[in-house]
Each structure stands twice: as structure tokens, then as C-alpha cells.
Amino acid sequence: MSKSTSNKAVPSTTHGYEFGGPLGTFALTILLPFACYLTTFLCNDSSGCPIPSLLHPSTLTLQRLKEDAGWPKEGILGLVKIPVAIAVLDYYALSILLQAVLPGEEVEGVELRSGGKLKYKFNAFNSALFVLSAAVAGTFVQGSDFFLWTYIWDNYTAIMTTNIIIAFVLATYVYVRSFSVKPGNSEHRELAAGGYSGNLVYDWFIGRELNPRIDIPAIGTIDIKAFCELRPGLLGWILLDLAFVAHQYKIHGFVSDSIMLITLFQSVYVFDALWMESAILTTIDITTDGFGFMLAFGDLAWLPFIYSIQTRYLAVHPVQLGLTGTIGVLAVQGFGYYVFRGANNEKNRFRTNPNDPRVSHLQYIETKSGSKLLTSGWWGTARHINYLGDWIMAWSYCLPTGIAGYLIQRSAPGSSAVGESPADGSIFGGAPVGTKVVQGEARGWGMLITYFYIFYFAVLLIHREMRDEEKCSKKYGKDWEEYKKKVPWRILPGVY
């Protein structure tokens, strides 16, 4: 490796600030975990979704808010449970072990700025099948009482807290370790241009090192970013969904079509990503973004716990869609997936093998840097058409919750009727109390939580598109301006 090439391990220029710079990233570091806790405590199975006290703000008190939300008696310390933390760490250890011992595909990444390519072992699909096969076997034997499903439901908040803590620790570890990156290193370690601003808070959030890796004895090399992108969080998302399905059956005695649809859609999305695991090597997360709190928290905490809000809601308040509703939701999901997967497959095939008969006919602009920008096919309709498919699919995750909102009503001991279930027991001791889930005055207000994902995801995709545009403009210069003339729309053709 020549000196001029190896020195590129440290970028010669840095990008401007994103997310509002140091102040904005500091605020997000506080607000994002706070949002996770808000959705957990303000939509629960003990008082309602949203909790009753929020429906009467004029009489709201802190004590009533804490009671309705189910805030731990121990305060903030009650959010953490050491045995649960150990169990979550065991889950991460299992993920690492499965990556090491199961067969997988050996793939080279794209060429790095400093020259050379990193090697990756991909077997996340096989790993997920292993874990889910064990879960299926346990469910076959124990049904909805299988310990994994009850453990997740009973310790949901502590599991989420542990993942949040892991994200903070991991972001700090890779930030500190990034200062050992030296020009000319033989491991192809690089700093990310976007995370090399010199501001501690900002670089810690964005990610200072591009592809941090760690060597584990008897295991081998683990690419931390690729591992987090497709392993603990994605599979955890599906495990949460399945735990919520099991809880609905345990409490209500049936599984609703709405929760089955969402779980099916999200499982297809996850397993599609795992099956196409090597496709992440051409994404901006891998090629451009450093690994810091933004990706660590997003992969390990935000994705599994925010994206599963709808199934957690339906576990308590089942919604039956019927044939017409099911067909409508299926149509939305099918169209969104068609756009999303079609666009991503087209781009990946063209980048890896432009002579592939499926993409060789596509028109493109060749830039001065040698890159080819598609101007026909999916990518001729909009510069980020895949984001549209992703957003359409988001609707199919939320629509099955209907006009959301419920309240938990408790009654004296007695036989359970339709819509009621026996609680474990009265808080005063003695015979169990009956609980009934009704919509009442909460009807519609729950949509602020169950449909939150749609609005958040729209903001996320537009912001990501704006980041993509800025980076591409800097990278391709006048060629990008010419490309925009041929493909004028950003995400939604004819609108935006």
C-alpha cells in the first residue's frame, strides 16, 4: 500500500454538521431514549392506552400520572434488573457465537477510501432460523406459557433499558477506540468523514470510526456495525412480536387477524433483509456513516422497541379486521414491498454486475469519478424511490390497530365474560379481580401512539434523503446536477 493511499485512513476533509450539530445531537441523545419510555409507560396493560390521567389534563397530578403509568416504586433504579441484564447479554453472546460457528457466505465489501476491501461473513439468516426453531419447539411443548414469551412480557421495560445501556456503552467504546486508528494501518481501519469534526459529543453520536471491528478469542473478527445492523435488534424485533402474539392468546384465548398480519409483514421484512444480508454492503450505513450512538441506539433499542408498538398494543386490545379489512391491508403491504424490494434489487444488481441481463438494459449517467447513476427503471422515477416503498409498508403496520385507544376497567371477582380476563389476583389479596378492556373515551387518542411510527418514519426518510442528496452533490458535483435534471423527483414522483 502506497503512502498516499494509506494516509486516507484519516479523511483530508470533514463534512458539515448534521442533526443540528453538537446541541442537536446532545438533545437527541436525551430525547430518543425518553421517547422509548414514553411509549412504554403511557400505553400499558395496567390502566390504558393512553393512560386515563392524560385524558383529563386539567386534573392531572404527578402522583396520578405515576400510578397510571406504572412507574416503578424504586424510581429510575427500578428500570434496571440485574438478572434481566445478564439474560440480554447472554442473547448477544449467543448471536456472536452463532455468527462464528454456523456456516455462512464470505463476501468482500466495497473498496475503501484508503484502499483494499474488508471481508465479511454473513449467516444472519441461518442464525435467526436456529433461534426461532428453538422458540417454535418450546412453544409446541409449553404453548403460550413458553418461558421466553412470558419472560419478555414480564420484563419488557428492563429488557429495553438494558439495550439502551448497551447502545451507550458500545458508542463510547468505539469512540474511544477510534483514536487508535493510524494512517497506514494494515487492518483497513478508517475514520468516517462525517464523524471527524473534532467535537466530542457530535463525533460520539455520529460515529468517528467507519467500520470498527473487534477480535474475540476462539470466535474471530466481529464487524461491530454489520453485527448490530442485522442481528440482535432485527431478530429481537420479531421475538418481541411473537411474545406479544403469545400474550394475546394467553389473555384472550385467541389470536386476532390484525396482530397476525403485522407479525407476518414484519417477519417478511426482517427475513428478507437477512436473506439479502450482503446487500447492506452498498448502503450508506456501511459505506459512509461512522458507527456511533446514532446507529447503535437505532439498531439495538429504537428499532425493536418502537417498531413493535402496534403488536404490543394489540396484545392487550385485539382488533378483528375481517375479510375486507385484511384484503385492504394486504394490498397496502404488497404494493409497498413491490416498490421497496424491486428498487433495492435493481440497484444492488447493477452495482455488483452491470452486465446482468435483468439490469443491463438500464440507462445511466457515468460520472467523472467512474460511478454510474441510473436514469431509467425504478431509479428513473425518483432518486430515492426505495424510501417510498418503505413508507407505504409502514402504513400496513399501523392500519390494523384501527381507531386505537383503550382503557382497563377492573371489576369485583366474578366469572369472565367476553372481552374480560381474570387478573393474577387482587392487589388486596383474595380472589382474582376481573379486568375488561374497553375503548371508552380513549378511542382515537391511542392513535397518537400506534400511528406514531408513520410520522416518525416519514421524517426519518426525508431527513435521510436530504443527507443522501447533500453527500451525492459533494461527491458528484456537476454530474449530480445533470442527474437531477433527468430524474427530478426525490421520493414521490409528481409530488416530492
pLDDT in tens, 111-141: 887 778 889 999 999 999 999 999 999 999 9
Does the structure show a pLDDT above 50 at 422? no
The confidence score (pLDDT) of residue 432 equals: 46
Mean pLDDT of 433-460: 90
Mean pLDDT of 380-389: 92
The confidence score (pLDDT) of residue 284 equals: 81
pLDDT per residue as tens digits for the range 282-293: 888 888 889 999
The confidence score (pLDDT) of residue 425 equals: 39
Does the structure show a pLDDT above 70 at 15? no
The confidence score (pLDDT) of residue 415 equals: 47
Which of 102-116, 171-185, 314-328 shows the lowest per-residue confidence on average (mean pLDDT)?
Answer: 102-116
Residue 285, CA distances (Å) to 211, 252, 281, 330 in order: 10, 41, 8, 30
Mean pLDDT of 300-308: 96
Does the structure show a pLDDT above 80 at 485? yes
The confidence score (pLDDT) of residue 233 equals: 94
| Residues facing residue 107 across a β-bridge | 120
Does the structure show a pLDDT above 70 at 426? no
The confidence score (pLDDT) of residue 325 equals: 94
Q: Are strands 48-49 and 372-374 parallel, antiparallel or unpaired?
A: unpaired
Mean pLDDT of 405-412: 83
The confidence score (pLDDT) of residue 349 equals: 83
Mean pLDDT of 348-369: 83
Q: How far is CA 406 from the centre of its chain?
A: 26
Which of 181-190, 402-411, 460-469 shows the lowest per-residue confidence on average (mean pLDDT)?
Answer: 181-190
Q: Whole-angstrom distance between the N-terminal and C-terminal Cα of the chain?
A: 45
Q: Between 360 and 262, where is the model more confident?
A: 262
Going by pLDDT thresholds of 50, 70 and 90, the confidence category of residue 153 is very high
What sign has the CA pseudo-torsion 86, 72, 453, 19? negative
The confidence score (pLDDT) of residue 185 equals: 82
The confidence score (pLDDT) of residue 356 equals: 81
Does the structure show a pLDDT above 50 at 175? yes
The confidence score (pLDDT) of residue 196 equals: 83
Does the structure show a pLDDT above 70 at 433? no
The confidence score (pLDDT) of residue 10 equals: 64
Going by pLDDT thresholds of 50, 70 and 90, the confidence category of residue 14 is low
Going by pLDDT thresholds of 50, 70 and 90, the confidence category of residue 206 is very high
Maximum C-alpha span of the chain: 81
Residue 60, CA distances (Å) to 51, 52, 67, 255, 428 in order: 11, 10, 11, 35, 26
The confidence score (pLDDT) of residue 282 equals: 82
Does the structure show a pLDDT above 50 at 197? yes
Does the structure show a pLDDT above 50 at 3? no
Does the structure show a pLDDT above 80 at 417? no
Mean pLDDT of 75-96: 95
Mean pLDDT of 243-272: 94
Which of 23-27, 144-148, 333-337, 407-411 shows the lowest per-residue confidence on average (mean pLDDT)?
Answer: 407-411
Going by pLDDT thresholds of 50, 70 and 90, the confidence category of residue 423 is very low
Chain position carrying cell 460457528: 101
Q: Give the predicted TM-score (pTM) of the model.
A: 0.86
Mean pLDDT of 317-327: 95
The confidence score (pLDDT) of residue 427 equals: 32
